[in-house]
Amino acid sequence: MLEATPLTEGWTLRHDGRALPAAVPGCVHTDLLAAGVIPDPFLGRNETEVAWVGRREWTYESDLAAASGHEQTDLVFEGLDTAAEILLDGRLLGRVRNMHRSYRFDVTGVSGRLAVRFASAYTEAEAVRQRLGDRPNAYAEPFPYLRKMACSFGWDWGPTLVTAGIWRPVRLEHWSTARIARVRPLVTVEGGPGRVELAVDVERTRVEADLTLEARIGDVRARAEIDGTSGTVRLEVPDPDLWWPRGYGRQPLYDVELTLGHNGSALDVWRRRIGFRSVELDRSADEHGTGFTLAVNGTRLFARGVNWIPDDVFPSRITRERYRERLTQAADAGVDLVRVWGGGIYESEDFYEACDELGLLVWQDFPFACAAYPEEQPLRGEVEAEARENVVRLMPHPSLVLWNGNNENLWGFRDWGWEERLAGDSWGEGYYLGVLPRVVAELDPTRPYTAGSPWSGSWDHHPNAPAHGTHHSWEVWNREDYAEYRGYVPRFVAEFGWQAPPAYATLRRALPGEELAPHSPGMLHHQKAADGNGKLQRGLARHFAVPQEGFSARDFDRWHYLTQVNQARAIAAGIEHWRSHWPVCAGTIVWQLNDCWPVTSWAAVDGDGRPKPLYHELRRLYADRLLTLQAGDGGGLVLAAVNQAGEDWAAVLRLRRMSVDGTVVAETDRALSAAARTVARLGVPPELEPVGPKEFLVADAWGSPTSGGEAESGGGLRALHFPVPDREVPYPRPEFDVTVAPGAVTVTARTLVRDLLLQADRLAPEARADTGLVTLLPGERVTMGVRGWKASGDSAAEAARSALYCVEPTR
């Protein structure tokens, strides 16, 4: 039977003639940090102090004893970052140049000193660039010339920390006669039964040995012979429980076990969990353009998505528990789809297993982003090899529903001046429209493939055409007010976002001792977007009266709060509008869920794992049922009742035209009905539309669905419409009462209180509130759960009041 021996102990890292203790898996930066050689690059401006690390060569060493009672011993690296030589007692075992692949070397009967000598990623990439010629790139870094996590070289939300190291596990495998080299599980559901076809490749030491395959799922068993080095075994499960995305059903998973045998003895075993489900991507043309709608088990769905970047710039630090925490945050926010973005990595099994269990659909980019990628050797062979390995590795996961060729490169070729600069040089099109779809079609025909995001489906339409395929909406953040989201209806919005700084406690940890201001040195260093603070300021000025310079501590606190409000409002403007146009628009994927370090960015959860107000707003925006007030096509206001639940929705709707002083100017009640998976649109009577800056409209719906379903929290759903920007609204000075009980803060409004927010981390760095922005009418109250803060009594009420923020009258 194959035996595996992890190689995690006894590693050293050579540094200036010294041997430092090294963690494997790990990377150079984390080892140097643990040894006290470098400061924490996440704090202050230390990032610049450690830039030298990415320009150096590094060597990891350990003693290797490969002797065993088996016929063969292999040294297996699951991941090496990135360009390295592997030597055993000075003898070269091999050279590698791809972070996204695993490697295997025959070390049978050999012992000695193992060395993994890493070249600088800069040196390797720049040598390839010199050989193949320069290509256009969104950043002045050479990441397209090396198969490495692109955002190691910095991004508009990430630091430039170019890593090296043994970033995934390494082990010895001892085996005899034969081992399982690859298993491709093709899982299909046709009518009643679920079928699993396991296509198996083996490696042999004895060609003449008769090999068998035995597979089982529960009580279902099957057997087949190995013909040479390959074989296929098929299982049929009668009437399996189907795997569904969260919100649509359960996520049953089935254990599959495959045993490679010889003369009645087991030589090797392969185990995975699978789920039975079908997935289709409808890209058919219609009167609106070209669709892009996912269907799981025949049910078409509006994808409620978030973009995922590596959760740490040093991916070896991301544990199984951390993946689970972050993805649970996504699921708890109503997310049902996570897009693994193409400037990062193929994530570990822990990521996809968590998605399987949580019912999160996975859209997987191949790792290409924002640059022209050469198609010549040595890159072309590496691209195909990594694609083949990772397609097969990830195939068992039912959560994986879409392969995507790249991020923004087809768009870049057409719109960013690449075509002229390239003058006929290769740039990646052969990967996205050739190599990758061919690999997916050959190895994983059960899943759809799309050439890129954005992508209209063919060169007949602009790559980022809103009416065709996937669309990235970045004009709004870069140049326009977020109200412009409401001006069009893309078929699928795969990227859009708005920035905000991280939580206050995160800033305090990352910028110790700094007097915080939007343009203070540390704040600017932790803002990587071009003119990011300028865009934040211009975005605020369209809605709020804010200081332009000379920030006091109070001014910074207001700026910090208002930028977070603006982020939540911006995303709400897009999602509410686009969801109200289902099924023409079939999904939104917010940029982005998470951060890889403490930074001002588009994330809903900051680099320390603290939710921003946007996170809580997503819980409302991505709930099964949503009320929103929108401009009608023919003028006037329309109330859209979005019902993505599987049950019809019947409710009582109350519309109130109100003054900011709390007076009800006019109101009416009416019945609201929305069938399952539909949007009901109701015109607002003209006499209820607010007039002038002092008035606004409140829409409340309460009541139970016609059959089953959950009761809405607080007794109902609410939508608000203010006809003018906040800076023009004559808000009253907010008045409210605060009481504190263990684990809860209750606020009772005596006036209109707009976008009340409890910043719990100002009470204690570890404190978390379960509620984000909430608007209270006079006499209304809200109770916000707080964990990680134990204070009580009068002093606690005053402390809580100091951590409460809301929109104030324009000064």
For the domain covering 3-173, report its CATH number.
Answer: 2.60.120.260
Q: Which residues pair with 652 in a beta bridge?
A: 671, 702
Domain boundaries, the chain: 3-173, 177-274, 300-621, 625-727, 736-805
- DSSP state for residue 435 in the 8-state scheme: I
Q: How far apart, in whole angstroms, are the C-alpha atoms of residue 340 and residue 361?
A: 11
Tokens of 368: 């290409």
pLDDT at 67 over 90: no
pLDDT at 811 over 70: no
List the helix and strand counts (H, then E) for the chain. Answer: 17, 44
In this structure, the chain runs to a length of 811
Put the strands of the sheet holding 400-404 in their side by side order: 449-450, 400-404, 361-365, 337-340, 303-308, 587-590, 492-496, 470-473
User: Is 209 in contact with 586 (CB distance < 8 Å)?
Assistant: no
- DSSP state for residue 241 in the 8-state scheme: P
- DSSP state for residue 243 in the 8-state scheme: P
pLDDT in tens, 146-172: 999 999 999 999 999 999 999 999 999
CATH architecture of 177-274: Sandwich (2.60)
State residue 550's pLDDT score. 66
State residue 15's pLDDT score. 87
Asked if 384 is an active-site residue, the reply is: no
- The predicted model gives 60-86 an average pLDDT of 95
State residue 705's pLDDT score. 38
User: Is 558 in contact with 569 (CB distance < 8 Å)?
Assistant: no
State residue 50's pLDDT score. 98
CATH topology of domain 736-805: Immunoglobulin-like (2.60.40)
pLDDT in tens, 227-282: 899 999 999 999 999 999 999 999 999 999 999 999 999 999 999 999 999 999 99
Provide the greatest CA pair distance for the chain.
90
Residue that the structure tokens 């981390």 belong to = 761
State residue 708's pLDDT score. 30
Does this model's pTM top 0.85? My answer is: yes
Q: How far apart, in whole angstroms, are the C-alpha atoms of residue 776 and residue 674?
A: 27
Helix, strand, coil distribution of the chain in percent, nearest 5: 25, 35, 40
Instruction: For the chain, state the CA radius of gyration.
Output: 28
Phi, psi of 296 (to 5 degrees): -115, 125
For the domain covering 625-727, report its CATH number.
Answer: 2.60.40.10
Q: Is the dihedral of CA 562, 501, 362, 356 positive or negative?
A: negative
State residue 687's pLDDT score. 96
If you average pLDDT over every residue of the chain, what do you get?
95
Q: String of b and e for 177-199 (b: at least 16 CB within 10 Å)? A: bbbbebbbbbbebeeeebebbbb
Helix (H) or strand (E) holding 748: strand 744-749
User: Is 642 in contact with 664 (CB distance < 8 Å)?
Assistant: no
Q: Give the confidence band of 713 by pLDDT, cuts at 50, 70, 90.
A: very low
Pairing relationship of beta strands 303-308 and 400-404 according to DSSP bridges: unpaired
Q: Give the confidence band of 549 by pLDDT, cuts at 50, 70, 90.
A: low
User: Is 488 in contact with 470 (CB distance < 8 Å)?
Assistant: no
pLDDT at 358 over 90: yes
pLDDT at 702 over 90: no
pLDDT in tens, 570-624: 999 999 999 999 999 999 999 999 999 999 999 999 999 999 999 999 999 999 9
Q: From residue 163, how far is each of 58, 236, 510, 706 by CA, in Å?
A: 10, 46, 21, 56
Q: How far apart, in whole angstroms, are the C-alpha atoms of residue 551 and residue 561?
A: 14
Tokens of 704: 């139970």
Q: Which residues pair with 180 in a beta bridge?
A: 202
The three state secondary structure string of 266-322 is EEEEEEEEECECCEEEECCEECCEECCEEEECCEECCEEEEEECCCCCCHHHCCHHH
Q: Give the confidence band of 715 by pLDDT, cuts at 50, 70, 90.
A: low
CATH superfamily, region 300-621: Glycosidases (3.20.20.80)
State residue 716's pLDDT score. 83
pLDDT in tens, 784-798: 999 999 877 779 999
* Lowest-confidence segment of 87-96, 632-641, 670-679 by average pLDDT: 632-641
Same fold, 3-173 and 736-805: no
State residue 286's pLDDT score. 97
State residue 709's pLDDT score. 29
Residue that the structure tokens 């254990």 belong to = 255
Rounded to a whole number, what is the distance in angstroms from the first to the last CA of the chain? 77
Q: Among the options 47, 173, 386, 408, which is catalytic?
A: 408
pLDDT in tens, 741-775: 999 999 999 999 999 999 999 999 999 999 999 99
Question: Which amino acid, residue 727?
Answer: R
